[in-house]
Homo-oligomer: A and B are copies of this chain.
């Protein structure tokens, strides 16, 4: 066995085809230019764009100010440009991006992408196409922006059995929940603030619905457990149902509400899900505010480790893309995750945690007794109850914290309670995550 590092040829150029020059692509171009000397040194060679695919060539020429690079509005041709050694897909979306990624691999070019939707849904196809040609696929930028969670799971924790990963990996949702907590405002006001500051897109539905976080946790599960989940099996719940009353009630009990994306090994398979949940105020993830991201990994040897940073934005995401390119140039990029068989996904309904339940009820005798009876009938035992002071003819909020109970049993109980005639609004049901 010889352990010498190969003497790589040094300081010839690595030419890339860059597909997309928007927020992230523009950041990659800027970073490659601004830190050019250092990147060349670390990579062992220069990394230069040979062609950039954009929507509008003239506008892009003005905006980017690059005179020495070929611009094209034909992404698919750019993906197979004969001078490109590697292809960076930053178009986003699923159809053209998928075509370009597969074309690049078919043309024997390694791929770097920030496209979590693409990989979560078509990952098996793309990873298999890469593996068949012994090509690498870099996707550090697809999860958690600047946070090196892909490298950490693949390399730094490679000796560990990973038992659970829990992340705050959607900056938009975290900004909104943090704003509701901090300013005691309602969901709509917090969303407006997020939009104004650029933390929410014009159409924020992919973020608010939990789908974006689900794409990322599906990829994390593939890395952590060695097999990708079928995306349709990932349980997803967004934050649209959370209101100020929940934030305040949770706070009174010593909790905050976070949108958590979780992948957890269990005896009956892996749980992979996204949902708003309660975290105790003392927990380090509870302190992750604004649009920041953080990922906690529970591994058998390393124990709990946490990785925190900007989950989005031009420069942080570009940092991850270029790190993948440097790994590629330095010939240490990792092979794609295995996709021989999908991950066995366990039933979240069977997963027991304590729960938070809030019911808005007409205040009259016997209400509490009826709710308590329904909970008891499903073996859900109550840990704490609080009721807001009642004003005449106004419904009151009753909040329950339960002991550990299966998620499905709690959902069923809540649905049964909601059908009672004294319940004024739909209930809020959230798990209390014990990390």
Contact = CB atoms under 8 A, between A and B. Distances in A.
Interface of A: 1, 3-7, 12, 14-15, 27, 31, 34-35, 38-39, 42-43, 85-86, 109-110, 133-136, 140, 146-148, 151-152, 155-161, 284, 287-288, 299-310, 313, 315-316, 318-320, 322-323, 325-328, 331-335
A135 B3 contact: yes
A284 to B, nearest CB: 6
30 contacts: A1-B14, A3-B135, A3-B136, A3-B328, A4-B134, A4-B135, A5-B331, A6-B331, A27-B301, A35-B159, A38-B159, A39-B158, A42-B159, A151-B156, A155-B332, A157-B319, A157-B323, A159-B319, A159-B323, A284-B287, A300-B315, A301-B316, A301-B322, A302-B310, A302-B319, A305-B308, A306-B307, A306-B308, A307-B308, A331-B332
A255 B139 CA distance: 39
Nearest to A27: B301
B146 A301 contact: yes
B5 A335 contact: yes
Given A6-B331, A306-B306, A306-B309, 15 more contacts: A4-B133, A7-B134, A31-B159, A140-B156, A146-B303, A148-B157, A151-B151, A155-B323, A159-B323, A159-B325, A284-B284, A301-B318, A304-B310, A305-B310, A308-B308
Closest 9 CB pairs of A and B: A332-B332, A148-B156, A305-B309, A159-B322, A146-B302, A301-B319, A306-B308, A302-B319, A301-B315
A24 to B, nearest CB: 12
* A3, A140, A323, most chain B CB atoms within 10 A: A3
B1 A155 contact: no
Contacts of A151: 148, 151-152, 155-156
B159 A148 contact: no
A161 to B, nearest CB: 6
B148 A152 contact: yes
Contacts of A309: 302-306
A129 B61 CA distance: 49
Nearest to A283: B287
A27 B305 CA distance: 18
Nearest to A130: B5
A158 B38 CA distance: 8
A6 B328 CA distance: 12
A371 to B, nearest CB: 37
Contacts of A156: 140, 148, 151, 320, 323
Nearest to A43: B158
A322 B7 CA distance: 24
Nearest to A326: B158
A316 B303 contact: yes
Contacts of A15: 1
A422 to B, nearest CB: 42
A308 B284 contact: yes
* A6, A303, A322, A328, most chain B CB atoms within 10 A: A303
Contact of A319 (B27, B134, B146, B299): B299
B301 A3 contact: no
Contacts of A335: 5
A26 to B, nearest CB: 13
Contacts of A325: 159
A160 B319 contact: yes
Contact of A301 (B35, B158, B301): B35
* A155, A157, A301, A304, most chain B CB atoms within 10 A: A301
Contacts of A306: 306-309
Contacts of A157: 148, 319, 323
A310 B300 CA distance: 12
A15 B327 CA distance: 26
B42 A158 contact: yes
Contacts of A38: 159, 161
A110 B331 contact: no
B310 A303 contact: yes
* A7, A146, A287, most chain B CB atoms within 10 A: A146
A155 B151 CA distance: 9
